[in-house]
Amino acid sequence: MRFIRLSMAAAGAAVLGVLAGCAPTKPATAPSTPAAAPACTPAAAGDTLVGNWLSVAAQKGVAGALRTLYTLNPDGTMTYVEQIKRPRAPSQGLEESGCWSRDRDTLVLRTLESNGVPVNLNDPIYSNRYRVVLSNATELRLQGPQGPVRARRMSPGYRLPF
C-alpha cells in the first residue's frame, strides 16, 4: 500500500514537472486596440444635402411603412435611423452613425457605429453609395442599390416618433 502511495506521488510530481515546462515564460501580449475611427470631412459651404431628410416607403414583402431619417450635418457627421412601423406591433429600428461625404453626384454614407457599437471598418456593408438625382430646399431624390429613395426635408432636431 505504501508503494502505491509513493508511486502515485512520484507520478503526480512528474506530471506537474512536465506541465510546468509547458507554461509560457513571458506574459501574453495585450490584445491590440481597434483602429481609430476616421475623422469626418466637413461638407462644402452651402451643400444642399446638409439637413434632416425623411423617407417613408412601402417595401415589397414587408407589412407596414419603412421610415428612414438621414441627418447629414455640416461637419461631415451623419446619423441614419431606420424604423419599421407596423399595425398592432411595436416599432423596430436601427440607428447608425458615422460620416458622410459628397463625391460629385454621389452621396457616400460611412457607418462607424451601429446601434451604439463600433463596426468593422473593413466590412463593405457599412459603406453605402447613392447617386443624387435631385437635391433642393425641400426634396431629396437618390438612386441606391435597393432602388430609388425620395425624402423630404424636415426641421432641424426632428426625430422619428416611436
Q: Which residues of the chain have pLDDT under 70?
A: 1-37, 162
Query: 3-state class of 22 per DSSP?
Result: helix
Could you confirm whether domain 51-154 is CATH 1.25.40.10?
no
| 54 neighbors 60 (Cβ within 8 angstroms) | no
Q: How many CB atoms lie within 10 A of CB 69?
A: 21
> How many degrees, rounded to 5, is the angle at CA 69 between CA 38 and CA 96?
35
DSSP states of 48-74: TT-EEEEEEE--TT--SEEEEEEEE-T
